[in-house]
Structure 1
Amino acid sequence: MKHLSQLTDPVFVKPIKETALDRLFKGWIRDERDLPFVYLTFKITLTLWPLAIIMYLPGVNNWLWWGAAIAYQFLNNLTFKGPFGLMLHCTSHRVLFEKKYQFWNHYLPWAIGPLFGQTPESYYAHHIGMHHPENNMPEDDSSTMRYQRDSSRDFALYLWNFVTLGVYDTARYHLRKKRNKLFVRLVRGELVFIAACVGLSFINFPATFVVFILPFLISRVIMMVGNWAQHAFISTEEPENSYKNSITCINTKYNHKCWNDGYHISHHVKPSMHWTEHPVYFRQTLDEYITNDAIVFDGIHFLHVWAYLMAKRYDLLAKNFVNIGDRFQTDAEIISFLKQRTRKIVLAPVPAPVTAASC
C-alpha cells in the first residue's frame, strides 16, 4: 500500500510569456486553460489528415503507401489516441470555442473524431446523454454492475454486448427518455460514418481500413477497457454513490498526457469541473473520499487497473492502493476489500406501480 504523497498531476499555471499565436487562439476559445486543445487539434490535423490523403492517392508508390500507413497507425494509436479521446471528452462537457466561432465546435467530432474511430456525435450522445445521468446504474447501457469485474470472460461478454448492441441500446434509451435530439445526433453520426466507410471502400478499401475501420475497432475496445476499469469497484450497498462506484488514479504520466482523466470520482461528482481543477479539488474534499471508502491508486492508470484485474493480480493493485485515512493495516485487508467491490451486483427488479385499472 501507499500513503498519500504530494500530488504531481497538472494544474493551471498562467504562463509568464505568451506568443502571438497564444493570444490569437485565446480569442477563439471560452477558457484560456484549454489552449493546449487548440495546439493538439492543429498537430493532429497537420499530420493524420495528410497521411490519410496519401493513402487514397491513385497510383501512389507502395513504399510511400506503407510508410504512410505505418506512420498513421503509430501516431494515431500511440501518440494521439489518448490525448484526443480525452480532449473530446473534456470538450463534450465544456464547449471549447466562443459563440461567434460556434461552427468550430463541430470540427473535433466530425473532422477529427472519425480518424480515431469516433463516429460523429455518438460519444456525446452516449457519454453526456446517458452515462452521466445514469451514473453506471442499470439504465446505463455501459454499466459494469451486472458483471464479475475481475473476470476476463465477463469482460469479453461486456465488450461483445457493447460492440454489437451499444448503439441500438443507446438509441432505444434516448427514445425511452424522449431525448429525441440526442437520438437524432446518435443515429445520424453512425449512419454517416457507415455510409462514408462503405463508399470509400469501393474507392480504396485498404486505405479505408487503415484510416477509418481499424481505428474504429480499436477505439471501441479501448473505450470499454477504460469504462470497465473506471467502474470496476462498486459498493453493493451504495452502487449509485460516485465515491463508491468509481476510482481515482493520481500521480501518473497518464494524467499529464490525458488531461487529468484519472480523477474519475471527482469527474462524476462534478462533471463540468475543468480538468485542471481536479488535483486541488481532490485535496479539498479528501475527507469525503475517506468517509466514503473511496478507492485511490497512485502511479498507475486505468489500463494498469484493467490488466491487473484480468490477471487477478490484486497484489499489484494493493501495492499501488493509497491508504487514505489509514483505514487498512495490511495489503491482505486491502485485497479483501477490493475483491468485495468487484463482485457481480444483481439488483432486484422494481415492481410496477399498481394502478386503479389493475385492481
Structure 2
Amino acid sequence: MRKIYLDHNASTPIAPEVATVMGDAMEGAFGNPSSGHWAGAPARQIVETARGQVAELLGCDREEVVFTSGGSEANNFAIKGLFFKGKRSQPHFITTSVEHPAIMAPLRFLERLGATVTFLPVDGTGRINPDDLRRAITSDTILISVMHANNEVGTIQPIEDCSAIAREHGIPIHTDAAQSVGKIPTRVDELGVDLLTIAGHKLYAPKGVGALYIRAGTFLEPLIHGAEHEGGRRAGTESALLCAALGQACTLARDLSPMHEVKTLRDRFLAALKERFGESVRLNGHTEHRLPNTLNVSFVGRVGAEILAAAPEIAASTGSACHSGRIELSPVLEAMGVAPEIGMGAIRLSLGRNTTGDEVDAAILRLTSAVTPTAQ
C-alpha cells in the first residue's frame, strides 16, 4: 500500500539539508552558548548564524529575532507580552474568528484577567474586511493579531491593509505566519507588521523550535523569566542544534520557486476532482488569495473522516470531527458560514515541496475509489 503524505500544513518532514546541519551541531557544539570559554564559543556562533538566517528571510535585523520553542510559544509571547507590559485597566485586543488555537486560547485566557477581545468576522472565503478592523479599534486597543494565512483553508488575509490601519492608530500588529513562511513572501517591512510568528515544523525543520520577530521599539514582558538569554527577552539556554535547524530551513525558504510547481500540482488535483465529481466537490477558501500548497475541498453529503478511513494510505486532515455520532464543523468552516452538509465532507490536502505528480495522481485515484467504492 503506497503511502502518500498530504498533510504538510500539520507538519513537514525534516529537509535533508536541515538534518545535515543538525548532525554537524551535535558533534561540535555541546557547550552552553552563554559560556565565555572555548566550549561555548562554537554553540554561540551557531545560534547567531541561525539568527542571521532567520533575519535574512524576514528582511529584519538579527537583534529583532527571538528563538522560541515553537509557534505556540511565539504567539503566546506576542499576546501576553503586550498584555503584561501594558498599563491599561481593560486592554483590548482585535483578532479574527478563524485564528489558530494558539491565538484563540491565550486571548480567552486574558479575558479572564480583564482583557476584552473583538473577533472580526470573515466572509465565505475566510477573509476579513479591513473596514471591520478599522471600526473595531478603540482607545484601549493594545494589539491587532491577524494570521497571514489560514492553516485549514489556506486563505491569505489582507495583512498589508490591516498594517496600514494599525499604523494610522499607533497600534502594534502581529501576524501568525506559521503557515505562510516558505510558501509566499514574508518580508516584515512589506507586510508592515511589528510581530511575526514562525514555527519550525511547518518549515522543514524539527518540532520544538520557532521564532518571534519583534520590531525594534516594540517592548514585551518576557513570557519565560530566568537568566538573560535572548537579550533578556526569553530565558532558557538556547539549543544550538534546534537553532541551526531553523536557520537552515529559513535559508531554504528564501527560494520560493518550488512553490510554483506545487501550485500547479494543487490545481491539477482540484481539476481532476471536479472532473470526476462535478458539483459534488466544493472548494473551501479563496480561489486566488490562497496558499499555493493548500486544497480544502468538501465532498457534499459525505463525511470527510469516513473518506479518509477508506483511503488509509493518504495522510490528510478533515474539516469536521465526530463526537458521539454527531458531526461538528471546525470553527474555521463554521465562521465562514459553510453549511453542515458541505462542511462535514471537508478534507484538507496540503502538498509539500517534495510532493510529486505521481503522488497526486495516485491520491486522485484512491480518493475516487474511496468516495465511489464501485469505481474501477
TM-score, reference length from structure 2: 0.28
TM-score, reference length from structure 1: 0.29
- Which structure shows the bigger proportion of residues in helix conformation? 1
